[in-house]
Structure 1
């Protein structure tokens, strides 16, 4: 019963690789879409960003997030004070957000000295 192994069984290797591929593809979709669901506005011309800006998310309920972390009420000024003023700031606002709340957020960010403030939209 002593037989020499003259070939490698690759079926278990293929099974493991397929499972890893499914895991990577599943987690990649969660990473790219972000944690906070926001229905962005649409625009015909939308710029492509190459660097990593500060992302302020304003939900339909009026809650604020900075880089997917919740910001307490009236705490945006405190949270942004630790960041350099040259940083780019992108505001992701839900399309049903009240214009007044959006303007308050942008006005507060601009009042802190951030000059590069833009709105993230979806290309239509």
Structure 2
């Protein structure tokens, strides 16, 4: 009598687990919009965000970015935010402004986000190190 062929599933399971591990490591890097270097202010109450968002970046030189894509002016920024809000009305809009930026520039961006229909807006900060 012939023996039934043996199929070893262990190598396939190992490959599957390695793929899951690689995706877990790479996903946080892909999902964040932090490639534009900005020195955000520090605070004691900073919290880590864990959801998808729309990121507006304002550099110390006054350059505007929407999800790491350059934006020419506030009108273009408002249109970009509005298109993101059309896909998800409750999406979080995060403003990453360099600490050297003028307060009035940040307020202009805040007003622009509100005009675009943003319901949830947050400002990015860094947590102050308590160690010593």
TM-score by length of 2: 0.66
Q: How does 1:1-124 map to 2 (within 5 A)?
A: 31=29, 34-74=34-74, 75-84=76-85, 85-124=89-128
Alpha-carbon RMSD across the aligned residues, in angstroms, is 2.0
Find the structure with the greater CA-based Rg. Answer: 1
Deviations 1:49-103 (A, max 9, x none): 1111111001111111011110112311121221123110000000000000100
Cα separation, partners in 2 of 1:33 and 1:67, compared to 1, 3 Å:
closer
Cα shift at 1:33? 8.9
4+ residue segments displaced more than 6 Å: none
Q: Alignment length, in residue pairs?
A: 96
For structure 1, list consecutive stretches of 5 or more residues without a partner in the other structure.
1-27
The gaps in structure 2 that reach 5 residues or longer are 1-25
